[in-house]
C-alpha cells in the first residue's frame, strides 16, 4: 500500500500526519518507508534527529528523500518491492510532483486546517486536480480529507460541512477523526518523534484513532 499525505497548502500538517502514520504502521510490525518528497527536507531532518536519539521502544522506520519529479514513480515503485507500506510526505505545491504522487498513491490523505476564506479556494483547486488525475488512472484512488488543528468555531464547523459535500460531488471522503491543535505535536517533532511515540495524552489518542481509521479504510480498498 502506498499512502500519500498531500495538500496544496503549506503548514496544514502533511508531514506531521505522514510521520505519525508511518510510525504507527511500523509499530504494528509492517516494514515501512517514509518518502520525503519535499525539497525543504523537513522530514529528512526529523529522521536525522530521530536517529541521533535512538530509543529501543521506537519501531524501525526508514526515511528516503525523493524530490525528482521525473524519477519519482519508477524509484518509488522499485522501493515498494522491499516494503509493505510506503508513506509519502508531499510538498505544499501544485507543481507536477504533486500530480505524480497522486498517480502513484493507492490512498490519499488530505490534511485541512481551515483558517480563512482562502481554504475554500485551495480545497476547490485540489478537488479539481484530483478529478483530472483520476481520469488518467484505471481505478480511482480513495481520498480522504482530515481536519487538523481543529477548533470548535463556527468557521471550522461550516468548513466541515463543505468537506462533507465534496464526498457527494467528487468522491473525496472526510475522516471521522479531528486532530485538535495540541502542543505535543510540535514538541515531539523537535526530537525526531511523533505524538504517537511521544505523547501519553490526547494527541496520541487522536493520532491512534486517525491511524486506525486510515488502516481500516485501506484494508477495505
**Residue with the closest Cβ to Mg ion?**
15
**Residue 14 or 185: which CB sits closer to Mg ion?**
14
- Distance (Å) of CA 96 to CA 16, 48, 100, 175, 191: 22, 28, 6, 26, 32
Least distance to Mg ion, CB of residue 38, Å = 5
Q: Which is nearer to ligand ATP, 16 or 123 (CB)?
A: 16
Q: How far is the CB of 216 from Mg ion (least distance, A)?
A: 25
Residue 141 lies near Mg ion (rule: CB under 5 A): no
Q: Which residues bind ligand ATP (CB under 6 A)?
A: 10-16, 38, 42, 92, 148-149, 179, 181-182, 185-186, 189
- Partner whose binding site includes residue 16, from ligand ATP, Mg ion, none (CB under 5 to 8 Å by kind): ligand ATP
Cell numbers standing for residue 72? 519519482
Return the number of the residue (76 or 179) whose C-beta is nearest ligand ATP.
Answer: 179
- Cβ-based nearer residue to ligand ATP, 16 or 27: 16
Shortest Cβ 81–ligand ATP spacing (Å)? 27
β-sheet bridge partners, residue 86: 2, 33
Beta strands 32-36 and 173-180: pairing type?
Answer: unpaired
Select from Mg ion, ligand ATP, none the partner in contact with residue 185, using the beta carbon and a kind-dependent cut-off of 5 to 8 Å.
ligand ATP
> Which contiguous run of DSSP H or E holds residue 100?
helix 96-104
- Report CA-CA distances (Å) from 26 to 39, 57, 85, 92, 132: 24, 12, 9, 25, 33
Partner whose footprint covers residue 50, from Mg ion, ligand ATP, none (CB < 5 to 8 Å by kind): none
| Partner from ligand ATP, Mg ion, none binding residue 10, C-beta < 5-8 Å depending on class | ligand ATP
Q: List the grid coordinates of 133.
A: 488525475
Alpha-helical runs (H) found in 5-95: 14-27, 42-52, 69-80
The answer to whether 14 contacts Mg ion (rule: CB under 5 A) is yes
Of the pair 123, 189, the CB lying nearest ligand ATP is at 189
For residues 3 and 107, is the Cβ–Cβ distance under 8 A?
yes
Q: Which of 128, 214, 137 is nearest to 173 (CA)?
A: 214
* Residues of this chain that bind Mg ion (CB under 5 A): 14-15
Amino acid at each position: 500500500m502506498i499512502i500519500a499525505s498531500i495538500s496544496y497548502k503549506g503548514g496544514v500538517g502533511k508531514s506531521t500526519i505522514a510521520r505519525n502514520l508511518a510510525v504507527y504502521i511500523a509499530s504494528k510490525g509492517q516494514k515501512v518507508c517514509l518518502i520525503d518528497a519535499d525539497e525543504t527536507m523537513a522530514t529528512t531532518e526529523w529522521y536525522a534527529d530521530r536517529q541521533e536519539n535512538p530509543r529501543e521502544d521506537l519501531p524501525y522506520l526508514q526515511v528516503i528523500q525523493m524530490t525528482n519529479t521525473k524519477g519519482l514513480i519508477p524509484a518509488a515503485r522499485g522501493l515498494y518491492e522491499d516494503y509493505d507500506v510506503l508513506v509519502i510526505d508531499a510538498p505544499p505545491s501544485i507543481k507536477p510532483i504533486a500530480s505524480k504522487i497522486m498517480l502513484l498513491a493507492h490512498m490519499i490523505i488530505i490534511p485541512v486546517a481551515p483558517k480563512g476564506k482562502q481554504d475554500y479556494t485551495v480545497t476547490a483547486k485540489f478537488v479539481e486536480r484530483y478529478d483530472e488525475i483520476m481520469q488518467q488512472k484505471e481505478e480511482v484512488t480513495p481520498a480522504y480529507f482530515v481536519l487538523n488543528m481543529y477548533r470548535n468555531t463556527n468557521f471550522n464547523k461550516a468548513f466541515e460541512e463543505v468537506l462533507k459535500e465534496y464526498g457527494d460531488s467528487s468522491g473525496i471522503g472526510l475522516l471521522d477523526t479531528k486532530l485538535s491543535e495540541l502542543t505535543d505535536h510540535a514538541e515531539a517533532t523537535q526530537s525526531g518523534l511523533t505524538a504517537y511515540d511521544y505523547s501519553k495524552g490526547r494527541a496520541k489518542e487522536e493520532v491512534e484513532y486517525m491511524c486506525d481509521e486510515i488502516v481500516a479504510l485501506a484494508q477495505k480498498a
